[in-house]
Amino acid sequence: MKLRIESVEDIGTLVRLTRKAQGLRQDDLGAMAGCSHKYVVDVEKGKPTIQTGLLLALLEELGIEVTVDLPGDAVDVLKQKLLSQDTAIPNHRREKWLSQIER
């Protein structure tokens, strides 16, 4: 199910609901994702200064997929950069992103 996220609190709410639905305790989820129990608490409370890399690991551990919806003009620029082999785009993402754009 796709939901529009409008705040850090939205992410926290969804993390808490998903964690509970999976029968996980905060400390267990933290250990699984490589972060502390306190970090999980901060995420679930919607703390605005949480570390993004850890958040992505936590979401992945819960099976929550993160996507972005780029506006058309940004898609055009991204496609140009992908095709031009621009070094700003990581090589390991190039083919995957290009195939997603061309769908």
State the pLDDT confidence band at 88, using cuts at 50, 70 and 90: confident
Per-residue pLDDT, averaged over 84-99, amounts to 86
Q: What is the pLDDT of residue 44?
A: 98
* pLDDT digit string, tens, across residues 45-85: 999 999 999 999 999 999 999 999 999 899 999 999 888 98
Report the C-alpha gap between 31 and 10 in whole angstroms: 23
Q: What is the pTM of this model?
A: 0.84
By the 8 A CB rule, do 14 and 3 touch?
yes
pLDDT (0 to 100) of residue 35: 96
